Amino acid sequence: MKNLAAKYGREMLVLRSSKKDNTVINIKGCAIGGEEIVVVAGPCAVENEEILKETAFKVRGSGAVILRAGAYKPRTSPYSFQGLGESGLKILAKIGEEMNMPVVTEVMDTEDIPLVAEYADILQVGARNMHNFALLRKLGRIDKPVVLKRGLSATIEEWLLAAEYILAGGNEKVILCERGIRTSEPWTRNTLDLSAVALVKELSHLPVLVDPSHATGIRNLVMPMARAAVAAGADGIMVEVHPNPDKALSDGEQSLTPRDFSLMMRDLEEIARACRRRLR
């Protein structure tokens, strides 16, 4: 395990052998990868300005520091809601500015990178695109942070090397995000792999977030898994919150209500303190 330098004939930028200290990424005054635990929250998709604003207002009130929402949605079926595209980006940027929260959103196509980078503070590579090397390579040439979700069944090695694609291009602002892997367990959407979080924190200097919403697909599991993620050493949590989950256009069954979210934040506060860290 782990002797990637020997295996690939080259020192890896992603590993602590190349850079000992934790990489801390600053986005509009918010630091990811430092001592503070960062919480990213928002609805699955930008649906309209009103819902996004309401969500942002509430999650910010409970302590979220970054706003998330998708304008381009990777959907299994071509007939499902695919996101609002550019108009979604505009709404997201506007609300982010109003709320004074940096925003993160997914980019799915190399051709969309300039557009998404214009509106978003952080660009996200979804699990389904973790092996999209053309996308990774081009994200290596921009000057914005990238959240890199672990692929649906990607090994830790592949995940680190996907990050290496971005670092090798010159962009050192990579934030890893564990969101569960595929297993033979059918009762949860995926199996959240917190060992991967602890192992990656040991091997790599990059910050690691955990997304318990996509990992479990079940609202009641989001809270305990967020707590467990912080206890395992994650640098932050990324969750879906919707003011009215039952009416969400996508992923409603895994979205927290703003009230659930506020309870979760209190729990995380305690766990962070027990780990000698604190919520930002």
Three-state DSSP at 197 gives: helix
Specify the pairing of strand 30-32 against strand 25-27. antiparallel
Give least dist CB 163 to its own copies, A.
Answer: 10
Give least dist CB 74 to its own copies, A.
Answer: 5
Determine the residue type at 253: E
Q: Is the dihedral of CA 46, 215, 156, 265 positive or negative?
A: positive
Stretch that binds its own copies, among 8-16, 20-28, 40-48, 235-243 (CB under 8 A): 8-16
CA distance linking residue 136 with residue 116, whole number of Å: 14
Find the binding residues for its own copies in span 158-197 (CB under 8 A). 158, 161, 164-165, 168, 181-188, 191-197
Which of 63/151 has CB closer to its own copies? 151
- Sole binder of its own copies in the list 60, 128, 144, 219 (CB under 8 A): 128
Residues in a beta bridge with 15: 204
CA distance linking residue 212 with residue 135, whole number of Å: 25
Find the binding residues for its own copies in span 9-68 (CB under 8 A). 9-10
Stretch that binds its own copies, among 21-29, 58-66, 171-179, 215-223 (CB under 8 A): 215-223
Which of 259/273 has CB closer to its own copies? 273
Find the binding residues for its own copies in span 233-262 (CB under 8 A). 233
Measured CA angle at 93 (ends 89, 94), to 5 deg: 115
